[in-house]
Amino acid sequence: MGDNKKNSSAEKFATKLIHFGGEIDPSTGAASVPLYQASTFHHFSLADPPRYDYTRSGNPTRQALEDYIAFLEGGVEGFAFASGMAAISTAFLLLSSGDHVIVTEDVYGGTYRLLTTILNRLNIESTFVDMTDLEKVVAAKKPNTKAVFMETPSNPTLKITDIKAVTAWAEANGLITMLDNTFMTPYLQRPIELGVDIVLHSATKFLSGHSDLLAGLAVARTEDLAQRLKHLQNSLGNVLGVQDSWLLMRGIKTLKARMDQAEKSARRLADWLSKHPSVVKVYYPGLPNHPRREIHEQQSLGYGAVVSFDVGSGQAARRLLQKAKIPLVAVSLGAVESILSYPALMSHAAMPREVRMERGISDGLLRFSVGLEDIEDIIKDLEQALQ
């Protein structure tokens, strides 16, 4: 499956996760990156300034993480932020007042909120389009368009954007391309290899994998963009702390093992839900009838571990949320424990109801992030909750 497999097999990626260049401390041989719990660094010589002088500008522990994600995504430089939204916000601040960006229509609610309540006040315009149709993307371009922001699979309806097609058009028109790769991770999808300029992650999710930290990551494809992102990161100061940088590296090491198991279970869950009489619709790229599944398979190595499904009404959704016992009923996703979310009141609460409905985010839609529990136990639990 997929073009990426030609460049880096799953076997090679598994090795990269463990042997990423920072796994051994060169000075002591320690089998873990040291925590440099320091805000400032001594200047031994004023004539020869040190690489690190202040942790906002750079810290060896955070640098190890930033090098790690750049290595995994195939970019020139990585950047670690205090949250996924901090990473996304910083990337959008590459734009200036008067600029315009084209965005996936059913984008994460936090990104929608940023664009429609904050960046619009800075005179940065946004147009939300169905990116499954390239013609709609092309039609949305204005004279002041400077960037395209993709989310594929989208959150929460898992729509598929043809990354190569969009990036080729954007490059021909001098536009910066950004892609939120949270759902797929660099294990299953490497957008930079498909021409994307900036890859973004809410590392709180699958990369961390344990619901115990907030973090965001960005990776730049070119040196020019890397320098611009570095300037923004240092100027804004929205960097990831040392402890969380270390903890995130620890989580990433098990990414493949966790993702393999969670995706296997997600496929089983999606198939079961698609046959359940109480379920109106199931959204999962691995289902045979999922729109543009073939496009997804060309650009990804798997289908991920998020399954969305519609139970027909808000009343039915709330009843299921109350009766389910195994999953954590909460915002977020990508953890070792299964998380059942209600987008209408959680991830997409910032989106007006009429806008949600236009994008297929109905009152009966639920999003299930499959964890590492036994899938048969999950199905048994959902069966009783759906009755």
- The tens digit of pLDDT for each residue in 110-154 reads 999 999 999 999 999 999 999 999 999 999 999 999 999 999 999
Residue 214, amino acid: L
Fold agreement (4-252, 255-386): no
281 near 327, Cβ under 8 Å? Answer: no
Given the residues 205, 221, 258, 359, the one annotated as active site: 205
Given the residues 3, 25, 52, 56, the one annotated as active site: 56
Mean pLDDT of the chain: 94
Domain ranges of the chain: 4-252, 255-386
Given the residues 180, 197, 244, 381, the one annotated as active site: 180
Give the model confidence (pLDDT) of 2-13 as tens digits. Answer: 443 334 444 589
Determine phi and psi for 252, rounding to 5 degrees.
-60, -30
Question: 147: helix, coil or strand?
Answer: strand
Q: What is the CATH number of domain 255-386?
A: 3.90.1150.10
- Given pLDDT bands bounded at 50, 70 and 90, which one contains residue 353? confident
382: its two tokens: 């959902």
Give the model confidence (pLDDT) of 41-99 as tens digits. Answer: 999 988 888 899 999 999 999 999 999 999 999 999 999 999 999 999 999 999 999 99
180 is catalytic: yes
281 is catalytic: no
Candidate CATH numbers 3.30.360.10, 3.40.50.10150, 3.40.640.10, 2.60.40.10; the one for domain 4-252: 3.40.640.10
52 is catalytic: no
pLDDT of residue 238: 98
Given the residues 108, 112, 283, 342, the one annotated as active site: 108
67 is catalytic: no
pLDDT of residue 2: 41
Buried b (16+ CB within 10 A) or exposed e, 223-240: eebbebbbebbeeeebbb
pLDDT of residue 11: 53
Looking at the chain, the whole-number percentage of residues with pLDDT higher than 90 is 87
